Every structure is written in C-alpha cells, then in structure tokens.
Chains A and B, each alone.
Chain A
Amino acid sequence: MGSIVAAINLRKYFPIVGGVFRRKIGDVKAVDGVTFTIKTGETFGLVGESGCGKTTLGKTLIRLLDPTSGKILFDPRGELPDNPRIGERMNDYDISSVKGKKLKNLRRYMQIVYQNPSTSLNPRMLVKDIVAEPLVVQGLARGREAEERVLQILERVGLAREHLYRYPHEFSGGQKQRIAIARALITHPKFIVLDEPTSSVDVSVRASLLDLFKELQRKMGLTYLFISHDLSMIEAISDRVAVMYLGKIVEIADPRELFNNPLHPYTQALFSAIPIPDPEAKRERIILGGEPPSPANPPSGCRFHPRCKYAREICSRQEPTLIEVKPGHYVACHLY
C-alpha cells in the first residue's frame, strides 16, 4: 500500500512585525524543514511539547495554513509511492500551492478535529446544522438528504436521532467531541488531523473516544495524524510516531521501538519524564535543565544541543539530518 500524504522540506514561518510601519523584523520558525510521509491507513502520532510546532504542522499539511516553502503531496486514493521525490509526475499531487476551487474540492478529503469541542462548535447552531455544514459548503447534499446523512454519521459516532435538534451546550465534553468528529467525517474524508482530541475530556471518557477512533478507522478506511503531548496515549494508538522539537522532527519510529529504545537524547528525556502509573517502578529520570528556546531565534546546528548532555563540538556547528539507523527507525542526531 502506498502513502497518502508526504511533506518534503516543509517550512512554515510566522512573521514578527514591529516598528511604526509594521515592518517584518523576524520570523517565528514554527515548522522548519520537515520531511516525512504518512502511509495510507495508518495512525501517525506526532508528539512534542507545547510550542514545538506540531499543531502548525498539522494545519499546514491540510492547507489551513499556507506553507512558507517546501512541498506537500496528497493523494486522496492513497497511492503515493513510499519514497516520493519531486519529479514530473509528482506535480499532479502537489497541493502546496493549489488555490480556489481546486483547494475547496481537496478539503473534502482532509479534515481536522480540534482540541476543545466547546470552542470549535458554534454555540448558536443546532447539531444537525453543525454536522451538515461541510455537506452544504461542498454542495454534496442539502435539505432532507443532508439530514439523512447527518443521522447516519451521528449513529456511527454513538449519538442518536434525539440529539439532532439540540445545541452544543446540552452535551457533555465527550459527546461534544463526538459531534466534532461527526462533522469531520460527514464528507467521507481520507485523511484526518486529530489535534489533541482527548485532552479536554476525563480519563474514563478518553478511552471510549480512542476506541471510537480505532473503530472508525477500520470501518471507513481513514488515515490519522494524531497530535498529542500525552505520550502514553500516543504509544497506545499509533502505528508510527514522530517526535518534534522546536520545528524539527528529531526521531521517527514505531511506538514500541521508540519507547523501548529511544535514540535521540531529547526523546530519551521526554519519555523518562512520563509519570508511570506504578508506584514501585524504578527508573532513571533525565530532568532537562531550562526550557525550550524560542523558535524565533533557534540555536545553531542541532537545536537541542544547549540542553543535551552528549553535545559535542559538531552539534553546535552542523545541523543533523534524519537518517535511518535501523529499518523504520529514523533519527536526527550526530551520535548515530
């Protein structure tokens, strides 16, 4: 099976403006040269601390933000080759600069579920209108037919006919998130960005949402980009995981490999910081000194070198590239 999305050297900078004339005085390098592919049908986990650019990356991939440079390849049929290089043929899939009608058509296939359903659902709209909106915007269905399809999708996410004529505030957090999921699914997309979809709900509800994601993926053939800072959840749900630090992907591997054998010093520190729900567990914790530097002015060379205990001279000079050290395990570090 092929891939569905690929990012090639993708960058997204936000300008910092200042002075009387609002001139650009710098850039916040939220995503700074990221290359990876997401295989069709998999759950691609993306972890990192707040401010490392994971949400920006997710939004740029589905063109809610315009990339500053780099390419995004997307194939709704999910048949991109595994190692896409920018060639003649790939231009058909290049969506990094599509506009207008073409972009709107693409939106059917790429959807997003946001972190907090209380803010991503319009409090003045009925559930049936919220969920039907993508259909109306895309011109896929309207009126009775739209309502019929809304009902179908609501049942899929565990809601029922009686919920159609209610407002978002009448639901609990977990149910609201189900409405947001229904809205994302109604156009039968192929690729969904899940941006911390469970961080605003309770533990007992979280598990049922994760179950729902897995079930929908199986039944509807979805591919997920699952963004989270909850590492144990990422480990449980993902097929492959990428670790981000300050706008860069530092490591990609399958979750078991990544958790048992993290290679990048940042990944090691990050994973050692997870509280283990076992009071007798003994392990060595690597406590990172300080805080992540500002993405407006990232350190030279490897961005982690000022906090890295293995840092050598080369680390501050040269930026490491993502290399495959074991089959399927990529790391960007001069140690390997």
Chain B
Amino acid sequence: MRMEEILSPDEQLRVKDLIVRFYTYEGIVKAVEKAKLNLRRGETLGIVGETGSGKSVTALTILALTPPPGRVEGGSILFRRLNGSIDDILKLSEEQLIRLRGKEISMIFQEPNAALDPLYTVGDQVAEAILSHRLPEMLDRAIKSLREDVKNGNEGFSTRLQLWAYNEMKRNPDSFKLRLVKRLPIIGKIISKKLNQVVREEIVELLRLMEIPDPERVVDSYPHELSGGMQQRIVIAIALACSPLLLLADEPTTSLDVTVQAQILDLIRRLKERFGASIIYITHDMGVIAEISDRVAVMYAGNVVEVAPVIELFKRPLHPYTKALLEAIPRPGATFKSIPGTVPNLVNPPPGCRFHPRCPYAMPKCREEVPELKRVSEEHYVACHLYGGEDRGEHSGGN
C-alpha cells in the first residue's frame, strides 16, 4: 500500500496539512491552518498554545469529532491501527470510527465534572467503555467462571441459562431469541448476573490501578460524591479501559490544584509505561510541558510554529513566539514580559506569518509569505523566515 511508505515504522500518527474552518455568522474562522504534527510510538508529544491557538480543535479532529460548525477542509490524519494497517482517520466511515474511538484512540477532557454523567454511577460509566469494546473478552471470562462453578457442582438452572445466553451472545449479539429472553422479568436479570460480576471485578481492578482508595465503594458512587482529582482519575480510567494506542489529554490538570496536579501527572507517567500508549498532551502551562513531554509542538493562531525535543526547546527556542512564551513565565526578581498585542481574530488572520503584528523581528517578507515548517537541526523544526532551514516543507519524523 502506498500509505505504508508515508508513515515510517516507528510512527504512530501523522497529521498532515490539516485545515479546519468554522462557518459562523461572523465569517469563516480559520481555526487550524495547515497544521503538521507527528507522533512516535510510546512518545509523549506536548502541544502548547494560548486560547484559540487551535490545539483542542486539532485533538478533536484526530478523533474525527470536529465540533460543528467546524469542517475539515483539507489534509490527512494517518494513524497506525491495532492490526498494523494505516488509515486516514478523515476517510473512515462513521461505523469504523465508532470502533476506533475509545478503543484505539481515547481522550481525557479538561473538566472531569463535565465529562462524567451525573446520573450514572462511576461503575456504570466505566462499564460502558468496557462493554462496548471488550464484550467478547468479558463473555469469555464469564463463561470460564461459570464452567468452574459447574465443575464445583454448583450447576443449577441459572448457571445453564447464563451459559446458553453468553454463548449465544458471542455468536450473534443481536440474536432475536436473546433479545426476547432479556425482556422476561426475572430471567433477564439472571442472565446478566455473571457478566456484571466479571465486569465489576475488571472495573475495581482498573480503579485500583488509578490509585483510587477504596475502589469497591467508589464503583457505586456518583460523580458528585468525588473530588475533582478523583473524578479525573475516573475519566482516565475510562480512557484507559481498552488500552488505547493513543491517548489525547486536553488540559487534564488545568482545573485541579497543584498538589493534585502532581499526583495526576505522576499517574499518567506511570500508566503510560504500563499501557505503552502514545500521548498527545495539550496544555498552556510551560511547567507541565517541561515535566511530561518528550517533544513539544508550539501552536499559534492555528499554525504549528515550532517542534522540538523538550530540552532543546527550552534551551534553544527559535520562534519569536516560543521565546516570548518562555519569557512570560513569572519568575521572582525579573520583570514580567508580556507579549504585546493580542491573539489575532481568526476570521481575518494577518496575511503572511500570523505572528508578524506582535513580532519584534518582523520583516517585510513576513507580511507577504506564509513561513513553512522547516528543519533547522536534527529534530528541530520552526516556521519562521528568520531561519533558513535545511530542507523545505516536509516535516518527516524520526529518520
């Protein structure tokens, strides 16, 4: 396949020239303009940028969940699937996407309070993720456990009924007979008994991994009974329930206190090792970026303006915007440096480089020509006319 050539062997994801526009009454908001990103297997890529830089829209588009009135107007998102094939997420059908979301790519949102449904218990919400993607596995476990019961001589009507139902469910989840039996008053309850038990055990195990104290109690509680930090752990549990290949974390610690943030960052780092997922971590906090990411992409007004390994970026920032961002971090003793001007209105973005009206180094060329993301040294890419670069355009990953 031709696509195989595009993604190098260690690459998990590549976003190429992504264009997302929002059609509003005020005009067309050019939210993401030719964004380029790539992510290697097992890597944590941090995306930093201010409000309106397009970082969240990019993440949602990776799940093909661009919020309306947004539309993807160009580009591709190549993703290495679980079975090894490479697909363009933007070309998948809705049915294929349902199987992809939550299973191969999942997401942690900023507000755990808003991400959880207040009307269902924590257990129900984690179970949803497990049952929709890991049903066969759970059925196998339930059947195995039932067979053991039979061996121990506990064979009764309910055991036989459940065994029949689970085998039927495995063969054909939509079977008419099964649907009919499920409707029967008492029998319907008996049927789901073992399955519920197995799923519950799995959830408790998962919550224990999230370092939630007393998981047996938490399973049956509602989100409002838990603190923000605990809620975020539940959201992470849901995201990791199916061991995804890629985890999108959209400012997961912004609404939390520093001490809880430290706990969650620590947890994410340890879970990454255990689950081996690649992570895209979105934040506006340079401190968090420095702690968690291997490489960093800086976004400004819908463009990726700089990509570099984290140490390189903090030591040798090249793009004037990155420099300004690093200088805007309050430090004791130093005067605060703010970036003059404001983030441009993306209905009418400035021509050429979108940062030029706020840039101290702006040249006439910056007003006319959009700078391409160029490679300036190994692994360090920048979109700025100040730097010549080695090769034009192509932002190729590791090799």
Contact = CB atoms under 8 A, between A and B. Distances in A.
Q: Do A and B come from one complex?
A: yes
Interface of A: 49-50, 172-174, 202-208, 210-211, 229, 231-233, 235-237, 255-256, 259, 269-270, 272-281, 285, 287-288, 290-291
Nearest to B290: A279
B258 interface: yes
Interface string B94-134: 00000000000000000000000000000000000000000
A174 B335 CA distance: 19
Contact of A280 (B266, B287, B311): B311
Contacts of A269: 259
B241 interface: no
Task: From B314, B330, B331, name the one whose CB has the most chain A CB atoms within 10 angstroms.
Answer: B330
B50 A277 contact: no
B265 A204 contact: no
Give the size category of B's interface with A: 35 or more
B229 interface: yes
B282 to A, nearest CB: 14
B38 to A, nearest CB: 20
B329 A275 contact: no
Contacts of B257: 49-50, 229
B354 to A, nearest CB: 14
B50 A275 contact: no
B328 interface: yes
A273 B258 contact: yes
A194 B336 CA distance: 18
Interface stretch (B77-85, B140-148, B337-345): B337-345
A36 B321 CA distance: 42
Contacts of A237: 330
B258 A231 contact: yes
26 contacts: A49-B257, A49-B258, A50-B257, A174-B342, A202-B284, A203-B284, A204-B324, A206-B328, A206-B338, A207-B337, A210-B336, A232-B329, A232-B330, A232-B331, A236-B330, A236-B333, A273-B258, A273-B261, A276-B291, A277-B287, A277-B289, A277-B314, A279-B314, A287-B259, A288-B263, A291-B260
A275 B311 contact: no
B287 A276 contact: yes
Contacts of B284: 202-203
Contacts of A229: 257-258
A254 to B, nearest CB: 10
B320 to A, nearest CB: 12
B213 A204 contact: no
A210 B334 CA distance: 12
The 6 closest A-B pairs by CB, nearest first: A275-B287, A208-B338, A207-B338, A273-B262, A236-B330, A204-B339
B135 interface: no
B86 interface: no
Given A275-B261, A280-B314, 11 more contacts: A203-B325, A204-B50, A211-B336, A232-B287, A236-B330, A255-B332, A256-B332, A273-B261, A277-B287, A285-B262, A287-B263
Nearest to B267: A287
B288 interface: yes
Contact of A202 (B50, B261, B287, B337): B50
Nearest to A202: B50
Contacts of A203: 50, 284, 286, 325, 328-329
B259 to A, nearest CB: 5
A210 B330 contact: yes
